[in-house]
Every structure is written in structure tokens, then in C-alpha cells.
Amino acid sequence: MRSKTVPLPPRAAKEPHRYTLHGLERNDEFSWLRLSEKQRRTKTPDEQTRRVTAYLQEENTYTEGVLAPVAELRHTLFAEMKGRVKESDISVPYRENGYWYQYRFDEGTEYPIHMRAPVLAERDQVPEEFEDFLNENIMAVGHDYFDLADFEIAPGNKLMAYSIDTVGRRRYEIRFRDLSTGQDLPDVIIRASDGGAFADDSTFFYVRKDRSLRNARVFRHIMGTDPATDVEVFHEKNRAFSCDVFRSRSDRYVIISTESTLSSEHRLLRTDDPFGEFKVLFPRGRRHEMSIMHVPNAENPHLPGKFYILTNWKARNFRLVECPEDATAKTNWTEVVPHREDVLLEDAEVFRDHLVTTERKNGLTHLCIRQLSTGKEHEISFHDPAYVAFGGTNPEWDTTKFRFGYTSLTTPTSVYEHDLLTGWDRLLKQQEVLGGFDASNYISERVWATAKDGSRIPISLVHRHDVVMDGHAPFLLYGYGAYGINVEPVFNSARLSLLDRGFVIGIAHVRGGEELGRAWYENGRMEHKMNTFTDFIACAEQMVADGHADPKRLYCMGGSAGGLLVGAVMNMRPDLWDAVVAEVPFVDVINTMLDPTLPLTTGEYDEWGDPRESGSFQRILEYSPYDNVHDAHYPALLATSGFHDSQVQYWEPAKWVSRLREHQQGNRPILLWTNMDAGHGGATGRFERLNEVARVYAFLLGRAKGHLGSLNGQGT
């Protein structure tokens, strides 16, 4: 008999939806859960919309009911995490085009307030008084969701463009503000991407999205005119590509970049010729990825300068080359940083007399400095076993100071200024963690697991110094493994609520990321995608074999493509986990990749494959979580989604959860919680998002402490 205190799970109707592809008939019995964007946004919902939203609300109610035993813990966790945040805080100021910029948080507010002040006669002296020019808290009033994606200041410093999204679909509205009066202008651009570029004070270039939310067309807007009359200057017709537009740091060019998974192209227009024609710098080539940097002539800014190109042409791990601004053919390329088989060249920043490169060696980042006039080199040193360092805000080319960020699993995010001439580092600010945080109470480690093919997989670990690594502590393993994106071992003050309650947390740097170079990514996509999942399982098994974890207290977590990861390993090894957290999980891979009208689909054929092709279909079918649900004793699951998510549509986790319940042979809970007011990133406010974290942590702690036990009868 089911306990009266435990609610019954919702039961989604099963409505046959059969189709045959490559000789295989498939039934998507929960496809009725899908709503169009128009249905989601309408103020007068039709019958299907009411049916679907009612079902999602039932799921939310059920989840809250199952989590009722840990409701008090959730409140405690939220208060704890909020209490670590310094409510009144201010960023490190930076200097750009005659002004200092910074932002602050006021006590009790969710969003930052952006400020600026003119540069003083003593350029390095920061003014005492700053003027507010953009208060996100005022702009967010009346919106359940608010995202300020970007703001751009025109060259004359009197005009600003900014882009906002109040739904969560990544379809932005661009507005313009007169900074001398603080008033917005009547020019409003809708259905745009999240950025743009001023050529001069009266000409602004931006990108409009197509129906699938792909960044497809670049337009020129003349201030004071109707945006409906804006002129299209570029149309990216290849649906595998998306485009962006930005202003070069040298202020010489407006640049249109177009990118797919494996290739890129750039078109340039001089800022002093805003009505001219964009010209292709390097024609796109299959599997040729590059980024470009223009630097002015150091002796005479009126003469041609240089282009620096970060390229993977004849260099799988990328190399850096340079060429004259007026002679860009590959025959004129000069090597600056050569290709290396064991080092991934991730980024480069060029200053008047210095080059700073970000390199990945053995999974860890290194910041390397070269003086261009002398060739002298040095490297910024770091000592944590697992960390990440990255270039900060460096808008000025003519400087001998370099800003960079640093963080580790035990070190709060820190902003440093590195003197490029002396090699000295100066700490400008470290994230202040309230509530008695002491870094010495925690230990960070870097260990390795061995994959089934012999590859060694790095794992970053963190735990309290008084936690004995004998398998009795609950162990949470996190992973992602896609797009060449690395899951960095960064500090997270909210995570302390798990660590202080005895959790060990590990990050599995599986193939599909680029932690160990470009080959690490290549061996975790397309026909090699299965490596991502078997690597993650190998990491978990290694932790068990080493005595660090026990399947009875082993948990895994991932979001988006990381949700695909944990969904796949749930099917492959349901016995290995007590519980799983899948945040906005990409779990219905075949159906999504068969639909070119959905955002991201056409641009990701090179990541997952095109299931219209038989080979890709068979490969995806091997791991797609929704298609591989089977009768099993599944671990407990908390899946989350955003109703307006444009990257992973809400119906993917909704359908997946419904199918899992049909096949659950055990009695551990399968839960779905949908934020009805948000998109892919969930809640937007700095405190509001902690409520979502508290729900996840309460679920994990509830399982670990036995407060969320089995549900009698579920799955039968």
C-alpha cells in the first residue's frame, strides 16, 4: 500500500504517434506534449495549451509533494546560500575609450547597476564618483524573467545600445539610450540577437533571427529612422551556420563572423565607411576554424596594421599566425605560435608590445606572455591541483597591464592585474564569501580514471578536509562532454552547502570536451560519441574501485548536453547510481535532430549527426535516452526544464520522465519540475536562481540522508 502522505505521480496520456525511418517503426506516444512558440506565448490559450500546461503544473505539484519531507531543509539551504553572498558589492573598474566602467549590487537587489565616470588627467587614478547609466532592477520590474544580454557604447560615448529578453527564448529587443539625458530613444529593434556594433554614432549593425531562432541576417540601422526600413547587408543562407556582428578592438572594423560546428568565416567593413560593402577576409573552408584580431600599426595608426589569426589550418590544436592588413593571403602568413600535439592553443590577446596566449596543457590552463620587441617569454604560475585561469576585461591595446581571472575548487573567483614588464601580479578583488568560509577547510585533488580503451580521464575532486575518503561519504559526479566545452573546476559558494554536509564532489572531464586537446573533443562526438558515456561510467567505477564512492551513495548530475550524458548512463548502468539530477536535459535526440524548424538543429549536424542519414540514425539510436528507456530499476531522478527554453525544448524532459515512469521497475521517485517563466538558464536573479539550486541540493541530501525514500508502488 502507498503511504497516504505520498502523492500519486501524474500519468500522461499515451497517444500513438508512429512513423517509420530507415526501416524501423518508432512510436512517440507522448508527442502531444509539444506546443508551438505561439501557443506558449498566447494570452488566450487553446485547448491543447491548457491541457499541456495543466499537466506540467501537475508534475510541479507532484514534485513539491515528494520533496515535502525536505521542505524545511530547502529553506535552510536557500538562507545558507544567500547568506554567503555579499549583498552590497562592486566590481573592479576597467577603462575604455575615455571612461571607467563598473557595476554594483545594492542590498536586496537581484540585478546589477552599471556605472561609469570620465577618465581623469591621471589616467590610472579611478574617480571617486560614478554615474549610474543602466539599472537592471528598474528594467526588470513587472517581468518574471529578465536578461540583459549586452550593451554597446557608441564611439562618441553619448549613445548606448542594449539588448533584453523578458521571456527566455533568446529573442532580444534592442533599445537605444541617450546617455546625456538617460532617456531611451524611439528606435526599437525586435526579434534580434543579443549584440551589435556601432560603426559611428549614427550607424548600428545588428543580427535578426529566423523562425528557428538562428542568427541569420545582418542589418544596418540609421539612428532616428524606422527599424522597418533597415537595410539588410548580409544573409547567411546556409542553415548550418549562424552569424554575429561586432566591432574590432582596434575600432578599425565592423566584423561579421559566421560559424558552424567546424568552420568559420569573417567579413569586414571599415568603420569610417559604414555604407560600404563587407568583404570576405578568408573564405570559409570545411573544418577550418579561426578567430581574427586586428591590431593597428604601432608606429603610425594611419598605415596598415596586422591581423593575428588563431587557426586550425594544418594545426589540429590550433596555431597563431600574423599577416599584413593589406596582404592577407595564406602565402603571407607568418607563424607566431606553432602547432603542438600536446598543447591546445585556446586564445590569444595582442597588445602594443606583448602577446598573451591561453594554453591548455594536460587539462589545465596556462597564461603565457611574450614581449614582441625582444622575444622574451614568461608564464604566470598557479599552484592548485585543479584550477582555471582566463583573460579578463582588457579593452585597451596600448598598455603594459593584463587583467586575468583565476579560480579553483577551493579558491573564490579572483581578478588579478599582471604587469607584463615586471611579471608581478596584483590582486584587485577576490569574491568575498560570507558565513565564515575558510579555504583551508577544503581539499582539492586531481585524480585519473582509465577508460575501456585505455584512455586516462582526469577527475577534479573537492571535499572537506575532515571527510574520510572511504566510500561512506555521499559522492556527486558532474559531467558535460560536448561541443568542445570544458567543465572547469571553478569555485561555487552554493556548493559549500553540500560539502559541509559531507558530500564529495567530482567533475569528470570526459571526451567531448577539450580538456586534453582537440582530439579529446573529436573522440567524443559523431561516431565516437559513445566514448563520452563510457568515460563517465569509467570515472564512477574508478571512484568505487578506489574506495571513494559506493553505488548506494553515488549521484550524478549534468545539464543540457550534460543532461544527455546522465540520461544515457542511467539507461546503460541504472545500478550504478542512487539518484540523478538532469537539468534541462537534451534527451530526445533523434526527434529533435529530425526537425530542422527547431533552434540549433541544423547547426549541430556536425556534432551529433543527421538522423536522416542511416549511419547517423543508428549511432544516435544507440544512446538517445528517450529511445533507450527499458524495464529497469532506475535510480531516483529529478529532471528540470524551462517552459520557454529555446535550446532544449521543455517537452524533451517531460516526455522522457513519462516514459521512465512506465518502465520503472523499482520504487524510487521520478520527478519533473518546470520553471514556467524561464528558458534554458532558469531563473535570472542572483538570489532567485538560488531557490532552484536549493531544490536540487535538498533532493540530493534527502536521498543521501534517507529523508526521500522509496515510493511504494511507483512504476508498477
- In sequence order, what are the residues at sequence separation of 6 or more whose Cβ sits closer than 8 angstroms to the Cβ of residue 175? 161, 162, 163, 164, 184, 185, 187, 188, 189
Largest CA distance in the chain: 84
Closest listed residue to residue 481, CA positions, set 505, 503, 459: 459
Ranges of H-type helices in 84-218: 136-140
- The amino acid occupying position 424 is W
SS3 state of residue 54: helix
Closest listed residue to residue 425, CA positions, set 395, 392, 381: 381
Going from the C-alpha of 469 to that of each of 16, 148, 474, 504, the distances in angstroms are: 49, 43, 10, 8
Burial of 538 (0-12, 13-18, 19+ CB in 10 A): buried
The secondary element (H helix, E strand) that includes residue 30 is: none
C-alpha 480/C-alpha 558 separation (Å) is 6
Closest listed residue to residue 84, CA positions, set 683, 497, 429: 497
For residue 201, give the C-alpha cell: 554614432
User: Would you list the DSSP string of 218-276?
Assistant: EEEEETTS-GGGPEEEEE---TT-EEEEEE-TTSSEEEEEEE-SS-EEEEEEETT-TTS
Residue that has been written with the C-alpha cell 585597451 in this structure: 396
Residues taking part in catalysis: 560, 645, 680
| C-alpha dihedral sign at 541, 544, 550, 554 | negative
User: Would you list the DSSP string of 604-647?
Assistant: GHHHH--TTSHHHHHHHHHH-GGGG--SB-PPEEEEEEETT-SS
